[in-house]
Structure 1
Amino acid sequence: MQYEDFQFIRFDRQPDGVILITLNRPEVLNATNDRMHWELTKVWGVVNEDPMVKAVVVTGAGDRAFSAGGDLSVVEEMANSQEATLRVMKEASDIVYNILACDKPIISAINGTAVGAGLAVALLADVSVMAEDARLTDGHARLGVSAGDHAAIIWPLLCGMSKAKYYLMTADFVDGREAERIGLVTFCAPRTEVLAKALAIAANLARGSQIAIRATKKSLNNWIRLAGPAFDNSLALEMLCFLGSDVKEGVAALRSKRQPEFPSARLPQ
Structure 2
Amino acid sequence: MTSERAFAGGQLRLVGPGPVATLELNQPEKHNAVSSAMWSALPEAVAAIAADEAIRVVLVRGAGGRAFSAGADISEFADVYSDAGRTEAYNAAVRAGQAALRHLQRPVIAVVDGICVGGGCGIALACDLRFASSAARFAITPARLGLAYSYADTAQLVEKVGPARAKDILFSGRMLPAGEALAIGLIDRVVAPEELEGVVRNYAEDLAALSQTSIRAAKAIVNMLVDQGAGTPAEAADIADASFTGPDFQEGFQSFMEKRKPRFR
TM-score (norm 1): 0.78
Deviations 1:34-69 (A, max 9, x none): 212212232222211211111101110112100101
- Consecutive unaligned residues in structure 2, runs of 5 or more: 231-265
**Shift in Å, 1:201:** 1.6
- Consecutive unaligned residues in structure 1, runs of 5 or more: 229-269
What pairs with 1:16-95 in structure 2 (closer than 5 Å)?
A: 17-95=19-97
Does the Cα contact within 8 Å between 1:107 and 1:127 map onto a contact in 2?
yes
The residue number in structure 2 matching 1:266 is none
Which of 11, 15, 30 is the equivalent residue of 1:12?
Answer: 15
Question: Structure 1 residues 170 and 80 mapped into 2: Cα distance closer, same or farther (>3 Å)?
Answer: same
**Shift in Å, 1:227:** 8.2
Specify which structure has the bigger relative contact order, considering alpha-carbon pairs within 8 angstroms and separated by 6 or more residues.
1
The residue number in structure 2 matching 1:147 is 149
Instruction: Say which is worse superposed, 90-99 or 5-14, in terms of deviation.
Output: 5-14
What amino acid is aligned across from residue 172 of structure 1 in structure 2? R
Distance in structure 1 (CA, Å) of the matches to 2:91 and 2:164: 27
Does the Cα contact within 8 Å between 2:42 and 2:100 map onto a contact in 1?
no
**Shift in Å, 1:222:** 1.4
Which of 196, 199, 206 is the equivalent residue of 1:194?
Answer: 196
The residue number in structure 2 matching 1:137 is 139
Does the Cα contact within 8 Å between 2:124 and 2:130 map onto a contact in 1?
yes
Does the Cα contact within 8 Å between 1:66 and 1:111 map onto a contact in 2?
yes
What's the C-alpha RMSD, in Å, of the aligned pairs?
1.9
Structure having the higher Rg: 2
**Does residue 174 of structure 2 align to residue 167 of structure 1?**
no
**Shift in Å, 1:125:** 1.1
Question: Structure 1 residues 227 and 160 mapped into 2: Cα distance closer, same or farther (>3 Å)?
Answer: farther
Higher percent of residues as helix: 1
Instruction: Say which is worse superposed, 37-46 or 123-132, in terms of deviation.
Output: 37-46
Instruction: Say which is worse superposed, 35-44 or 136-145, in terms of deviation.
Output: 35-44
